[in-house]
Amino acid sequence: MVTVAGIYAFFNIIIAGYGFLGAGGDAKKIQQAWDKIWQSALGLVIVAGSFVLAAILGWLIFKDPTAILKPKIYGAP
């Protein structure tokens, strides 16, 4: 899912760049392009923040930051 989010953000930024190129000085189109870039960047921050939050919760609950990110499943061999 992280890879998909990164690829989606990359394409959104490319499309916003084309929006800038095609704006022709129109303030509304320029604002729409900036909004798309801002939303893509915010989405990437949220995705990265989820890993940080999972590590903090894993450390607080299990005393191991990777407990949630790399769970160990115990059972019969």
Per-residue pLDDT reduced to its tens digit, 13-72: 999 999 989 998 899 999 999 999 999 999 999 999 999 999 999 999 999 999 988 888
What DSSP string describes the chain? Answer: -HHHHHHHHHHHHHHHHHHHHHHTT-HHHHHHHHHHHHHHHHHHHHHHHHHHHHHHHHHHHHS-TTTTTS-------
pTM of the complete model: 0.76
* Nearest residue to 68 (alpha-carbon basis) of 2, 57, 49: 57
Locate 75 and state its tokens: 């059972």
When pLDDT is cut at 50, 70 and 90, the band that residue 77 belongs to is confident
